Amino acid sequence: MPADTSTPPLRRLGRNGPLVSAIGYGAMGLSGVYGAADDAESSRMLEQMLDAGVNFLDTADVYGQGHNEELISGLLAKRRDDVVLATKFGADKDTGGGRPEYVRRAVDASLSRLGIDSIDLYYLHRLDRSTPIEETVGAMAELVTAGKIGHIGLSEVGAETLRRAHAVHPVTAVQQEYSLFTRDPEASLLPALRELGVSLVAYSPLGRGVLTGAFSDVSDVENLEERAQRYPRFEAESLRRNIELTRPLREHAERLDLTPAQLALAWLLAQGEDVVPIPGSRRIERVRENIRASTVELDPALIAELSDRFPPGAAAGERYHPSGMARLDQ
């Protein structure tokens, strides 16, 4: 396949949010989640990513317990104007992360680690069931007024919570797992998002690597035991079934001179202009390959076929173990 030199088109977040590259970047993997990463190499890769046209960068205070934000601070110090930055707070269920006083502490801590004055898009990472969403979003709205954040986002919330939040202050984006493996948002969340004019930022759009076609056997997966402890879809039997499930994706991709990852991302982008995937990678070559997906126009018949081949619930295993699933607002 020839080198990918395309630049991604832009999509607007929400009705009045920033213009971002149609393919964003999720930085979680730069803090050791999927294997060791070298900070100097990661920093070089992030600059090359911006040069390639990806301007939407996603992190969180919990990634590496602050390491991820600190790593990204070096990039922001040099190229703040080139980045639409999103970060998140409130992932730890024991912090009471939705309480207004916690929201205020969390944003100041993130701003300090990032070395900036304002965050473009600030998400509540997980719903705090002990705090009404109206109180959490009210505190986030105060941060908008204070200029500490530009736009409000939520992560892993259901349609009802979204409506309640949006009634307090406009929500710009909801981050949710969405891919050929995980089509849960289509049932009720996507219709609500479209009614309210809120974008869907799709994390894990490549099934945490399985949809890339990189794995032909369970033994191909780096840090398999650690991944399985986090994600049931990486337990041996589920993983075997999920690898086999990708066969038609791999076959169609080869016919189209695409990688399976490119085809999976192109399918996701075809679900609507309000969908923005944020795949992650530690290699700039993969980032450039992902960018090409945003320039591919798929035949509607192929989009429909892939949808049929990967119906909701097709992937083997739950997204998270029971404690993680309990934190999702579905």
Predicted confidence at residue 92, as pLDDT, reads 80
Q: Flag whether pLDDT at 4 surpasses 70.
A: no
Domain-wise residue ranges, the chain: 10-212+261-296
Per-residue pLDDT of 210-256, as tens digits, reads 999 999 999 999 888 889 999 999 999 999 999 999 999 999 999 99
The answer to whether residues 259 and 212 touch, using CB atoms and an 8 Å cutoff, is yes
HEC per residue, 167-233 = HHCCCCEEEEECCCCCCHHHCCHHHHHHHHCCEEEEECCCHHHHHHCCCCCHHHCCCHHHHHHHCHH
Kindly list the catalytic residues. Answer: 63
- φ and ψ at residue 11, rounded to 5 degrees: -130, 145
Q: Which amino acid is at 32?
A: G
Whether 68 and 97 have beta carbons less than 8 Å apart is answered as no
What is residue 8's three-state secondary structure?
A: coil
Does residue 45 contact residue 287 with C-beta atoms inside 8 Å? yes
Domain 10-212+261-296 fold:
TIM Barrel (3.20.20)
Please tell me the predicted confidence (pLDDT) of residue 115. Answer: 98
Whether pLDDT at 2 is above 90: no
pLDDT of residue 226: 87
Q: What is the pTM of this model?
A: 0.95
1 pLDDT higher than 60 = no
Residue with tokens 């579905």: 330
Pair 234, 228: CB distance under 8 Å:
yes
Interval 256-279: pLDDT, tens: 999 999 999 999 999 999 999 999
The answer on pLDDT for 168 being more than 50 is: yes
User: Residue 292 pLDDT > 70, yes or no?
Assistant: yes
pLDDT tens sequence across 57-103: 999 999 999 999 999 999 999 999 999 999 999 998 666 799 999 99
Whether residue 137 contacts residue 151, with contact meaning beta carbons closer than 8 Å, is answered with no
Is residue 252 helix, strand or coil? helix
Rounded to whole angstroms, how far apart are CA atoms 200 and 107? 22
With H, G, I as helix, E, B as strand and everything else as coil, classify residue 150: strand
Q: Strand order of the sheet with strand 149-155?
A: 25-26, 56-58, 84-89, 119-124, 149-155, 173-177, 199-203, 275-277
Residue range 15-72, pLDDT digits in tens: 999 999 999 999 999 997 666 789 999 999 999 999 999 999 999 999 999 999 999 9
The tens digit of pLDDT for each residue in 99-152 reads: 999 999 999 999 999 999 999 999 999 999 999 999 999 999 999 999 999 999
